[in-house]
Amino acid sequence: MSLQPISDDKNKFLFEKAYAIRKSIIEMLIEAKSGHTAGSLDMADIFAYLYFHALKHDPKKPDWEYRDRLVLSNGHICPVLYATLAHAGYFPVDELKTLRKFGSRLQGHPHREFLPMLENSSGPLGAGLSQAIGMALAEKVDFGKTLGKQFVCLTGDGELDEGQNWEAIMLAGKEKISNLTVFVDRNNIQIDGFTEDVMPLNPLADKWRAFNWHVQEVNGHDFRAIDQAWINALNINDRPSVIIANTISSKGIPEFEGKYEWHGKPPTTPEEIDVARRAFGIISK
């Protein structure tokens, strides 16, 4: 885990990793003819930063006791998780082509019994934050300290419509779970429309602060901003931290960006497939 600001070389490296992850996401979704485009693409920078810079983990020892724990709550964006894990060396990149296929380990929501590096299974939205809080709290109860582990939970903004989240947020604030950092994908969309039309969340940052969380808002596509927020969170020892990452849904495909219609569908028509492939320099088949 680095506490030094990222260098120019590391910034370039992370950009290249995020680009490769997005490219794999598009190839996966087109092959599967199913899956979620918007959130998967817009969280690629956060995932690249975490797995290729911030988190302690070892692809050769996925059950390493002292690894940091990452819980994906909005599991429908699992294409970005799978692509990141493959590029990090947990399994072959070619396996990504099996997304959502019968018998594949890479189903539409992650299932921890299929892949040893997963910390949780998902399905109903709103449960992941409770799971992460339970893990982080148990670490303190069992050992009286965190053993240096960090617990990270990734959520979507639309997912915060679920009331269970706010019960969990309240508990984490009460217990001062300082070994927990939450990243909120603030892309302003959900499956039925824009978040502020479906169920307004603003003032979102103030709501977290009211529950005794350390709150930061960043550009979710700026590695240096993400890095500084992560360093700040690690230095907070009296409360949990949340980083609200302002992102552009379907990041990387200008024709899809910011459109809620891409929340839960992949490119399927010849025109959509061509647009998506051209955005990432993929030669059409």
Q: What is the DSSP letter of 186?
A: E
- Tell whether the model's pLDDT for residue 129 goes beyond 90: yes
The two tokens of residue 117 are 């590096």
pLDDT value, residue 4: 77
The angle that helices 8-32 and 270-279 make with each other, rounded to 10 degrees, is 160
Q: Which residues pair with 219 in a beta bridge?
A: 246
Q: What are phi and psi of 16, to 5 degrees?
A: -65, -40
The angle that helices 128-143 and 163-175 make with each other, rounded to 10 degrees, is 20
pLDDT value, residue 285: 56
Any domain includes 41: yes
- Tell whether the model's pLDDT for residue 143 goes beyond 80: no
Res. 142 pLDDT band, cuts 50 70 90:
confident
pLDDT value, residue 144: 64
What digits encode the pLDDT tens for the residues 98-126?
999 999 999 999 999 999 899 999 988 99
Asked, as a colleague might, if the bond just before 203 is cis with ω within 30 of 0, I would say yes
Neighbours of 137 (CB within 10 A): 17
Per-residue b or e along 163-180, where b marks 16 or more CB atoms closer than 10 Å to that residue's CB: eebbebbebbbebebbbb
Any domain includes 57: yes
Q: How many helices (H) does the chain have, and how many strands (E)?
A: 10, 7
- Tell whether the model's pLDDT for residue 2 goes beyond 80: no
Which CATH number characterizes residue 249's domain? Answer: 3.40.50.970
pLDDT value, residue 145: 59
Res. 147 pLDDT band, cuts 50 70 90:
low
Calpha distance 222→128 (Å, rounded): 25
pLDDT value, residue 140: 83
pLDDT value, residue 148: 77
Roughly how many angstroms between the first and final C-alpha of the chain, as a whole number? 41
212: domain range? 8-279
Any domain includes 285: no
- Tell whether the model's pLDDT for residue 269 goes beyond 90: yes
What digits encode the pLDDT tens for the residues 23-37?
999 999 999 999 999
Task: Round the average pLDDT of the chain to a whole number and report it.
Answer: 95
Any domain includes 1: no
Any domain includes 227: yes
pLDDT value, residue 40: 98
Any domain includes 147: yes
* Tally of domains in the chain: 1
- Tell whether the model's pLDDT for residue 94 goes beyond 80: yes
Radius of gyration of the chain (CA): 18
Res. 3 pLDDT band, cuts 50 70 90:
low
- Tell whether the model's pLDDT for residue 1 goes beyond 50: no
pLDDT value, residue 116: 86
Please state, for a pLDDT cut of 70, what percent of the chain lies above it.
Answer: 96
Any domain includes 172: yes
Calpha distance 26→162 (Å, rounded): 29
Res. 5 pLDDT band, cuts 50 70 90:
confident
Does residue 250 contact residue 79 with C-beta atoms inside 8 Å? no
What digits encode the pLDDT tens for the residues 164-222?
999 999 999 999 999 999 999 999 999 999 999 999 999 999 999 999 999 999 999 99
Any domain includes 3: no
Report the side by side order of strands in the sheet with 241-246. 69-72, 151-156, 180-186, 241-246, 214-219
Res. 87 pLDDT band, cuts 50 70 90:
very high
